[in-house]
Every structure is written in C-alpha cells, then in structure tokens.
Chains A and B, each alone.
Chain A
Amino acid sequence: EPEVTQTPSHQVTQMGQEVILRCVPISNHLYFYWYRQILGQKVEFLVSFYNNEISEKSEIFDDQFSVERPDGSNFTLKIRSTKLEDSAMYFCASSETRDRKYFGPGTRLTVL
C-alpha cells in the first residue's frame, strides 16, 4: 500500500525558533492535511490544503502556523516562533478524493 512519509521523525528545538516539518504525500493525492496530538491527548485537526490554498483550518492554526507545497512532492508545516505548548506529534495526511485519509507516521516535536 502506498505511504505518506514524514521527516524528521523527531525534532528538538529551542523556544522561539522556527521549525519546518516535512511530508511527502502519496503521489496522486490532491488533498493534504496536518493534525496534531499533544502527549496523552487525542489527535486534533489543524489544516486542510487543496489546489495551493488552505481549504479549512481549526482554531489552533493561528498566525504562527503556515503550510506550503513548495514543489510537486513536498508538503510542509512551518511554525514561526515555537512555544513550549507546541510540543506534540504532528501528523501529515493525504487523500485522493477527500474521503479516506492516509496518515504518515508523524514527527515528534519537542520544544525546550
């Protein structure tokens, strides 16, 4: 089965630094998503992206966050100035038809 990949698997950063989390969605998929899971909590939706635009975002996705599809294969999530509470697992997902979402293995972000 095709897979979504994410890099790095674990990122450690200092508070206030910018981080970019990278994802390679499944090649023929058109819809892309980021989700977040704070340790011990449930997985929460952040943003959906289609046709080079944000199609939906949650209240969590404030001005500190941005997404981009810089080329034909990557999909990135940028956090401009990280806070301690940004520490979480970040999951990328992609979908061909907006129905079934294929999730990547996640990037663990630790903000010190």
Chain B
Amino acid sequence: GIQVEQSPPDLILQEGANSTLRCNFSDSVNNLQWFHQNPWGQLINLFYIPSGTKQNGRLSATTVATERYSLLYISSSQTTDSGVYFCAVGGKGGSEKLVFGKGMKLTVNP
C-alpha cells in the first residue's frame, strides 16, 4: 500500500518563529489532507490539498503531486499551534481510505 513519511518527527520552536513540515508519499494520490491534533486529541481539519497551494491565515500548504510531496507552512507560530500534525493521503487505486503518516509533534514555547 501507499507509504506516508513525515518530517521532522519533532520540532521545538519559540513563539513567533516559522516552520515547514514535509510529507512524502510513495504513489500517486487523489486526496491529501493535513490535520492538527490538539492536546485533547481532537483532529482539526486544516487543508484538503491534493495539488496546488492554499492559504488560511498563518497557515499555508503546497502539494506537488508529480514529485509526491506536500509542505505545510506555519508562520509566526503561537503556543496554540502546539500539537501533532498529520498528513493523510488517499491513493488512486480505488480504495477510499486515507493513509496517515506518523505525525509531527510541534512544541511552541512562549
């Protein structure tokens, strides 16, 4: 099945810093989504981005489908950005399921 690799696995930042999270995937996809899991375990939908670039406030994402990667940018980070960020992809083989990466734990210190 499709493989999803996220990097870096952990990141510690000072408030106000910028960061880039990367997601590599092993096959063509028809779905790619980014999620933020907050300290209470809730999954927050960030982006649906199988290709192209989107922005939402301080967050933006870019997916280059032909090169099989996606990037999530967080600018001017805040302590509330702390948590785990997941990339999840859906392959083109007819399966509907999303395959999640292992996640990236972000800690933003005041």
Contacts and interface: CB of A to CB of B under 8 A. Distances in A.
Interface residues of B, number: 22
* Secondary structure call for the A interface: strand
Contacts of A95: 96
B83 interface: no
A89 B42 CA distance: 9
Interface stretch (B58-66, B69-77, B99-107): B99-107
Given A42-B103, A43-B86, A101 B98 contact: yes
Contact of A43 (B43, B45, B48, B95): B43
A85 to B, nearest CB: 18
B30 interface: yes
A26 B45 CA distance: 14
Contact of B88 (A43, A58, A104, A105): A43
B99 A106 contact: no
A80 interface: no
A105 B43 contact: yes
Interface string A82-106: 0000000101000100111111111
Interface of B: 30-31, 33, 35, 41-43, 45, 48, 50, 86, 88, 90, 95-103
